[in-house]
């Protein structure tokens, strides 16, 4: 049974197949063709954390595939009252695919290990494979083919999003440069790092000029925790950590000056939500190289491809 957890399980050929599927399904949508390939199938979406893009793109995607989705959160279900393993086994009896935004990747892995239905890690503390594959779709489109993407740079904190993007790109033979003064310790997966480094495609440096030279894409994500703020003001108990992070990470902010100085032809990407003035400036979001909103849209097309691939239905699109 196929699962999408960390990209460690996927080969280069799996990634290319999912990419081709997403490109074809997007083209069909743009041509006004229906893709009702999943009638009577249900996607269960379990969220232990908040979401805008992941929820909407998976839910809309399942609708456009002719199926149905059910949104569950921890607060309004019985998950907080009982053993997770028992409850998730019951939930999976009702559905064809489980999409799970979990606090702990180990819970996603537990659900997948039961091999009842395909399971997607929809952003745990360690992985965000649906985002990584969507980003590969965006880069392939903007570069006229993923084979034309030679180098990407990740700026800011090394985390769940960078983990899966790094591994997916490294598997495709893309040079990945990580410019991160800190690693989110909860995100560390030594086996993932070993797999990525074994490709010979990963470089870690804090030298911006070296990192950004000839970059095709620059990616970033938040390095400020949103619980630090209340009504736009920093809560007193987080003031020290807020100042420390600003000092540590601001030199690695994506802004127009940085782009124009070091990587004028690079495209700018951010998985969103944006935290303007922290990891990215407004002038970078509005920069001519920004592809951030196309990147957000591509979540929809890629989520459909992921669901079809997990259900081993790719032939119905790739051979049509
Ligand atoms: N990028 C992303 O996963 O967005 P959401 O947190 O809004 O789902």
DSSP line for 279-297: TB-HHHHTSTTB-HHHHHH
**Domain co-membership, 114 together with 165:** no
Q: Which amino acid residue places its CA nearest to atom 1 of ligand 1?
A: 271
**Which atom of ligand 1 is nearest to 56's Cα?**
8
Q: How far is the CA of 294 from the centre of ligand 1 (A)?
A: 14
Q: For residue 306, what are the contacts with CB-CB under 8 A and spacing of at least 6?
A: 4, 18, 120, 130, 133
Return the number of other C-beta atoms located less than 10 Å from residue 265's C-beta. Answer: 9
**In this predicted structure, what is the pLDDT of residue 97?**
98
Q: How far is the CA of 61 from the centre of ligand 1 (A)?
A: 15
pLDDT tens digits, 95-122: 999 999 999 999 999 999 999 999 999 9
The answer on pLDDT for 85 being more than 80 is yes
pLDDT tens digits, 32-58: 999 999 999 999 999 999 999 999 999
Q: Is residue 77 part of a domain?
A: yes
User: For residue 34, what are the domain limits?
Assistant: 12-127+299-315
**Domain co-membership, 190 together with 241:** yes
* Contact by Cβ (8 Å): 131, 167: no
Band (197; pLDDT cuts 50, 70, 90): very high
Q: How far is the CA of 297 from the centre of ligand 1 (A)?
A: 12
Domain count, the chain: 2
pLDDT tens digits, 251-264: 999 999 999 999 99
The answer on pLDDT for 74 being more than 90 is no
Q: Is residue 6 part of a domain?
A: no
* The token pair that represents 163 in the structure block: 């983990």
The DSSP bridge pattern shows strands 202-204 and 175-183 to be parallel
* The token pair that represents 185 in the structure block: 């310790």
**Domain co-membership, 142 together with 115:** no
Q: Is residue 150 part of a domain?
A: yes
**In this predicted structure, what is the pLDDT of residue 311?**
98
Q: Which amino acid residue places its CA nearest to atom 3 of ligand 1?
A: 54
**In this predicted structure, what is the pLDDT of residue 90?**
98
Q: 3-class secondary structure for 155-200?
A: EEEECHHHHHHHHHHHHCCCEEEEEEEEECHHHCCHHHHHHHHHCC
Place of tokens 């998730």: 88
**Domain co-membership, 118 together with 135:** no
Q: How far is the CA of 187 from the centre of ligand 1 (A)?
A: 17
**Domain co-membership, 143 together with 185:** yes
Q: What φ, ψ does residue 4 adopt, rounded to 5°?
A: -125, 100
**Domain co-membership, 142 together with 241:** yes
**Domain co-membership, 167 together with 96:** no
**Domain co-membership, 53 together with 68:** yes
**In this predicted structure, what is the pLDDT of residue 199?**
98
Q: Is residue 7 part of a domain?
A: no
**Domain co-membership, 94 together with 155:** no
Q: Is residue 143 part of a domain?
A: yes
When pLDDT is averaged across residues 74-80 and rounded to a whole number, the result is 92
Q: Is residue 320 part of a domain?
A: no
3-state secondary structure of 11: coil
* Contacts made by residues 238-246, CB under 8 angstroms, sequence distance 24+: 246/278
**In this predicted structure, what is the pLDDT of residue 174?**
98
pLDDT tens digits, 137-168: 999 999 999 999 999 999 999 999 999 999 99
Residue 132: closest CA among 216, 283, 8, 249: 8
The CATH code of the domain that includes 44 is: 3.40.50.1370
**In this predicted structure, what is the pLDDT of residue 103?**
93
Q: Is the CB of 271 under 6 A from ligand 1?
A: yes
**Which atom of ligand 1 is nearest to 101's Cα?**
8
**In this predicted structure, what is the pLDDT of residue 276?**
96
Q: Is residue 120 part of a domain?
A: yes
Between CA 114 and CA 116 the distance in angstroms is 6
**In this predicted structure, what is the pLDDT of residue 75?**
86
Q: Is residue 155 part of a domain?
A: yes
Q: Is the CB of 134 under 6 A from ligand 1?
A: no
**Domain co-membership, 118 together with 161:** no
**In this predicted structure, what is the pLDDT of residue 179?**
98
pTM: 0.97
**In this predicted structure, what is the pLDDT of residue 220?**
98
Q: How far is the CA of 131 from the centre of ligand 1 (A)?
A: 8
* Contact by Cβ (8 Å): 219, 135: yes
**Domain co-membership, 82 together with 210:** no
Q: Which amino acid residue places its CA nearest to atom 4 of ligand 1?
A: 53
**Domain co-membership, 90 together with 220:** no
Return the number of other C-beta atoms located less than 10 Å from residue 290's C-beta. Answer: 20
């Amino acid at each position: 049974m196929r699962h999408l957890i960390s990209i460690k399980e996927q080969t280069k050929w799996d990634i290319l197949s999912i990419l081709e599927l997403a490109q074809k399904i997007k083209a069909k949508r743009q041509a006004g063709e229906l893709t009702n390939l999943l009638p009577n199938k249900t996607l269960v979406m379990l969220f232990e954390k908040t979401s805008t893009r992941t929820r909407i793109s998976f839910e809309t995607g399942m609708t456009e595939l002719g199926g149905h989705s059910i949104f569950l959160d921890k607060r309004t279900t019985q998950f907080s009252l009982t053993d997770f393993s028992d409850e998730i086994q019951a939930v999976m009896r009702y559905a064809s695919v489980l999409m799970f935004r979990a606090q702990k990747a180990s819970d996603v892995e537990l659900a997948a290990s039961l091999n009842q239905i395909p399971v997607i890690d929809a952003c745990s503390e360690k992985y965000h494979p649906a985002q990584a594959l969507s980003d590969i779709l965006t880069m392939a489109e903007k570069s006229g083919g993923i084979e034309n993407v030679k180098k990407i740079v990740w700026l800011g904190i090394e985390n769940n999003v960078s983990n899966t993007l790094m591994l997916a790109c490294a598997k495709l033979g893309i040079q990945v440069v990580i410019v991160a003064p800190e690693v989110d310790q909860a995100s560390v997966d030594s086996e993932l790092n070993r797999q990525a480094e074994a490709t010979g495609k990963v470089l870690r440096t804090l030298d911006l000029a070296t990192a950004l030279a000839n970059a095709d894409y620059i990616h970033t994500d938040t390095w400020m925790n949103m619980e630090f703020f209340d009504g736009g003001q920093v809560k007193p108990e987080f003031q020290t950590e807020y100042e420390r992070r600003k000092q540590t990470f601001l030199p690695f902010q994506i802004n127009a000056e940085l782009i124009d100085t070091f990587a004028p032809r690079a495209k700018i990407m951010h998985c969103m939500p944006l935290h303007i003035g922290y990891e990215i400036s407004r002038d970078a979001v509005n920069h001519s190289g920004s592809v951030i909103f196309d990147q957000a849209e591509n979540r929809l097309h890629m989520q459909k491809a992921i669901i079809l691939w997990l259900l081993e239905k790719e032939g119905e699109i790739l051979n049509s």
